[in-house]
Structure 1
């Protein structure tokens, strides 16, 4: 049923949600000649990748906040540079304040990074080159799979053929490479890193990627994959690099919207979908808006989390209760708390003094000095609702982009772990006192390392997991639309039997982060879903596809 295309409608493809994947999918579909309408409930396109003024004169990325995973093929195909996108590199990757005198600053090439690590462990510095090479080989496998459609379990001979192609890629690896992949997909970040490094700060520096957007401890099985997931990106051709989009993350989605409109995509904001229309015993045929307006479509493409889609938008009786439960039972919750602050001056760190711009101010500044610190942050949140000593990643994008703040002042993004998606009994994120109390703790946490920070805060924007859900549709505040766990990856993402972007209703597709390859600002799910939708419209094997299978 999922491969059917509905009958006549107002448009060929109606996309729910103008986040970056919805816009990507729309641009590809329009380029293939389809009539495309994108509906966005908010008043601005971009979903979680938006820039806004949160205090007079201060603008910043509201939710998503940094660039690396955006696929280079998507950038090229949508001509995002021509539509105004410019991405710059960070002067250093990451900066970890440890105490009043020690810090780990990862910048430059291998030798500089080894010199930084050698201050903590000479043995770890010596192992860095082999570790980098091992992770890069594993990341290469992911890069090869990112723009593929996973083999869909139970999908018949065509899916078996696809599966054979993927299998050849994987089984062509050497035994050692297969072992590393198995470890990364199944083990904890702690177990994986223990085999490489000895120093707790060095291990924490690498383990941090394993808990970003992942409500888990570094000792949780599967966290090693999340670590790998954050390693396969690139910026301006430099693999593994991180950068900043001039104008904030909204610059990405504004460029995508411009690319789509140039190809004929219609985008409507302030258009919240109330329900998907179903006909003929299980075919998606359009939507009803909150306003009561009915829009018919030959296909409906969801750029929303699968849990939200089946909880709120697929009408009762359209699918069996068991099918509905399959999707509403997905694991969600990133343990994420998001803040933006306006600053009168740059933070002056005890371990690396100075209020004038230095390379560490342009890095990802991570408060999470040891592996035990990361572990306790998760355990606190599980027991108490939030971490007593939270893990904070702070970026100060105004050091790279003077369009975001008045001269001499700055904006900072604070991405914080861990908070429970739902607080213990008797407490709720709907209580403003809860999020303000935790926001105070976050400010104090940074201030312990940079004593001028609290006094420098002029204003703040605070988003709890509930805020992330209500504003952006991120169920339980999950930035990935569903946990990146082994049972929700590749052929099991979003659920077993639905990995090929087609959902249980005919003409209903998934193009968001809940589909392969998962979360982050990549554009890959939108790219891949568009390819499958075009395939269904044209019929298998009829006519040339305008979207290539490989990057």
Structure 2
């Protein structure tokens, strides 16, 4: 039997972050990954058959939150090949009527944009930005605290931030637990500004739902530091993490799916791979895969009491029926946004930022139809789009573009399934792709004439390709009832599983999903802390 100190299940970015910290502490670490390539939800692929030289990013593109968490500075990934290009403004809202609104790192620059539409809204935005800063200061400190034990240093930081922002505490609580729609309606009046903020709220639940206001953490983060687009696509992040890990003595095995987490005398002691090979872990097993898979599929049924097993079975991964959709496109030439650029008149290169396309009313309609298993109407799609070649031309052949289109809401399931032909011989997947391209053609010049090929992915595909339960890109639903000491479920939070020696360190753990590295950082910290305690006892 092979033997290491710590086994990490899953070579997504959180698993690789955890492995790096554990290896830095002198442990022999092995990361086992089921897929042929590392990356998980931070993988890039050349996956459009008609355009094999165009890079795609099937699940994520921009590590928005990466620079807000310790791994970004502590791991020094620039020394291991990670190169990034700063883009400011990082986000631009595109209105259907050719107006646009750029969100700059400096909120004062954003307010000057808003002033073109409403001076009152511009003043309100500066005050809102101050609230967002207070929210993010408090939240980011809490996000690196263990939510189920007294974690002195991060809790002290959180308390200091709360004290510094005490004038805003009531508003912070109202924003974090309330609705994005109410937060916008209370402050802004111009339709372009309201549409832009509804689009940028970033929630996977309706903006009228309680807790959706917390989605403004994304916008708060935008004003902490602008986007840093990774050269070579998002795959460059796990690649740099892997290079760093192996240079520090760790190892990675791909094509190594885990069949079972081995438990002896009530303790996790290793894993058995599907090919029958057993690998022993002298100290611990870290599951960076989703918790429903780790605890419900890989752990022997007898390892958890029935009450906890029931909670595992009921971990929410279907997001209330609201799914997401991803459309990657390849183009034979370069897209342009000439009419938006002409109206702006400031020379801003609109090919570089991320774009959001949505309207206040359309977002609500899209959620309603998606919950009913119906494809939203094309005009109502809520889109987050990037032209990666606008910053990094190496991702496609010379003079050509790749295109990333993330639909923030789509049906989790559709009537009849995604791939059943209708009376006209078209599947719902094909109709969805056509509807997406039709909408994009109303914003970008060249979409319909330059398209070479496309790839349309749904939650069903995310589950098949990455393995996450329900194809949930955050592993567990992002709701108030699944946060902090209840993430992923009551009795299962805090990184230590109920089985000694087994730790949870993926996006289903506190603080949440997204490309942060925070769950990996936190699980490594808890594991190493326990190791120090064991050696003293």
Question: How high is the TM-score relative to the length of structure 2?
Answer: 0.90
Q: Residue deviations 1:156-199, cap 9 Å, x none?
A: xxx48789747744763555322122112211111122222122
Match of 1:454 among 448, 451, 462: 448
Consecutive unaligned residues in structure 2, runs of 5 or more:
none
1:396 to 387, 400, 422: 387
Which residue does the alignment assign to 1:4?
none
d(CA) in 2 for partners of 1:174 and 1:394? 34
Question: What is the distance in 2 between the residues matched to 1:320 and 1:484?
Answer: 26
Deviation at 1:377, TM superposition (A): 1.2
Q: Within 1, Cα distance between the matches of 2:318 and 2:5?
A: 34
Q: CA, structure 1 residues 287+385, in 2 after alignment: closer, same or farther (shift >3 Å)?
A: farther
Partners of 2:29 and 2:160 in 1: how far apart? 35
Q: Distance in 2 between matches of 1:375 and 1:121?
A: 24
Cα–Cα, structure 1 residues 398 and 428, in superposed 2: closer, same or farther, change >3 Å?
A: closer
Residue aligning to 1:23:
16
Does the aligned pair in 1 maintain the 2:366–2:376 contact within 8 Å? yes
The answer to whether the Cα contact below 8 Å between 1:396 and 1:413 also exists between their aligned partners in 2 is yes
CA contact 1:211–1:218 (8 Å) conserved in 2 = no
Give per-residue Cα distances to partners, 1:100-143, cap 9 Å, x unaligned. 44333334744442232233322111211111111011101122
CA contact (8 A) 1:101 1:350 kept: no
Count how many residue pairs are aligned between Structure 1 and Structure 2. 519
| Cross-structure match for 1:473 | 467
Q: Which residue of 1 aligns with 2:411?
A: 420
Q: Does 1:62 align with 2:53?
A: no
Mean Cα deviation higher: 94-103 or 528-537: 94-103
The aligned residue for residue 370 of structure 2 is 381
Aligned-pair CA distance for 1:219: 0.5
Q: Pick which of 487-496 and 458-467 moved more.
A: 487-496
Structure with the larger helix share: 2
Match of 2:201 among 210, 214, 233: 210
**1:295 aligned onto 2:279:** yes
2: CA distance between counterparts of 1:255 and 1:73?
16
1:162 and 1:108 map into 2 onto residues whose CA distance is 29
Separation in structure 1 between the aligned mates of residue 27 and residue 440 of structure 2, nearest angstrom? 50
2:25 counterpart of 1:32: yes
> Structure 2: how far apart are the matches of 1:36 and 1:328?
30
The equivalences for 1:510-529 within 5 A come to: 510-529=504-523
Change (3 A) 1:429 1:472: farther
Gaps of 5+ in 1: 1-7, 153-158, 544-551
Counterparts in 2 of 1:445 and 1:490: CA distance versus 1, 3 Å: same
Cα shift at 1:221? 0.8
Alignment check: 8 A CA contact 2:487 2:509 kept: yes
Going from structure 1 to structure 2, the CA distance change for 1:450 and 1:194 (only over 3 Å counts) comes to same
1:340 to 319, 328, 338: 328
After superposition, residues 493-504 of structure 1 pair within 5 angstroms as 493-504=487-498
Q: Secondary structure at the match of 2:350?
A: helix
1:77-226 to structure 2, matched below 5 A, reads 77-107=74-104, 109-152=106-149, 159=150, 165=156, 168-169=159-160, 172=163, 175-212=166-203, 214=204, 216-226=205-215
Corresponding position of 2:350 = 360
Shifted more, 107-116 versus 444-453: the winner is 107-116
